[in-house]
Structure 1
């Protein structure tokens, strides 16, 4: 089953209206039924210093979310957008899904970065999402930023039926070694035999490209680091497989885990 993919990246600020204007502009040419992925914090803003949360108005953010939902409906797209999210008196780091029919879904980052701990609440669910394209249903798993470092989370999502991974990040740290996070994403795709659809902030210090990776680990499309752009490709979900996952030594892994916990 084929699916059309659009990955958008742009410079993200702490100005909600500016971010919303950039999103609206970048999505002007998206096509109905496309899966569109925006970076971590795309709507709210994001950065290593989260003190700006004190000045971020939750009501303005909620209004902007409604406008993004309207945009997804008007364009008839399946839109994944990162944002910091204020709920029940606390902030979390979230990936929001906006469907063509108005349905919404939220993934809250479960493995917080060190700068987020104490300021954001961690999510408590690692679940999949099934969306409905014109060609049929697709089950997806979503991960955010540093969760690239925890392959067991991705494997968990694959075990629960994810045919592709949506990955949102805001990775622009000049102290990170070049190419490491790119290699991680290729590994997450190849070891699980799943597509990876990754969106990062446009920044000259970007250390994880916005790109689409096949279940074989092939990079099908990649954006230039500092450029505001949308990259597009078409993927065939029939290429996703369980060949390697089906060969795991579950008996040995289970025994090793029991031995450690019984010490």
Structure 2
């Protein structure tokens, strides 16, 4: 089954209304049934310094989320958007899904960055999301930013039926070596034989591309660094496979774990 995907890359500020206007403008030409991915913190704002979080108004954020839900319904798209999210007075780093039919789903980042710890709460777990495209149902897994460094989380999602990964990041750290995070994206795609749909902030310092990568690790399309743009392609989800996952020596992994726990072989 084929699916049309669109990855939006744009500068993100701590002004919710400005971010919302940027998203609305960028998505003016999206097509019905497209899977659209926006970066981490695209709605609320985000940065290494999270002190502006103290000034964010949850009511303003909730209103902006409603506008995005309306946009997804009006454009008949499957919209993924990153935002800091306040629920019951507690903030988390979240990826929101807005369906063409008006339903919503939330993934909360489970592996928080060091600047997030003490300010944000980690999510409760990893779960997949099943969406309904025109050609049929698709199961997706979602990960956020530094979770690219934890391949076991991606493998867990693949084991639970994810046919593709949605990846949202705000990666613009000049101290990171060039190309490393791009390599991580290729590895997560190839080792799990799943598509990776990745959206990053538009920033001249970005060290991770906005891109779509095939289950073979091929870069199908990639946004220019720092530019405000949307990149598009069509993916064939029939290319997702379990060839490598099915060859894992889980018997040895279990034996090693049992020895480590007990201190001797049984």
TM superposition score category, shorter chain reference = over 0.9
- Work out the number of aligned pairs and report it: 263
> Counterpart of 2:31?
31
Q: CA deviation at 1:8?
A: 0.1
Q: What CA deviation, in whole Å up to 9, does each residue of 1:51-104 have, x standing for no partner?
A: 001100000000000000000000000000000000011100000000000000
In 1: Cα distance, 2:75 partner to 2:254 partner: 47
> Counterpart of 1:85?
85
Q: CA deviation at 1:125?
A: 1.5
Task: Give the SS at the match of 1:5.
Answer: strand
Q: Any unmatched runs of 5+ in structure 2?
A: none
In 1: Cα distance, 2:260 partner to 2:52 partner: 43
> Counterpart of 2:215?
215
In 2: Cα distance, 1:95 partner to 1:210 partner: 16
Q: Any unmatched runs of 5+ in structure 1?
A: none
Is the aligned partner of 1:134 residue 2:114? no
Q: Report the aligned-residue RMSD.
A: 0.4
TM-score, reference length from structure 1: 1.00
The runs of 4+ residues in structure 1 deviating greater than 4 Å are none
Task: Give the SS at the match of 1:215.
Answer: coil
Is the aligned partner of 1:187 residue 2:207? no
In 1: Cα distance, 2:113 partner to 2:259 partner: 30
Task: Give the SS at the match of 1:212.
Answer: strand
Q: CA deviation at 1:236?
A: 0.1
In 2: Cα distance, 1:259 partner to 1:117 partner: 33
Task: Give the SS at the match of 1:182.
Answer: helix
In 1: Cα distance, 2:82 partner to 2:9 partner: 11
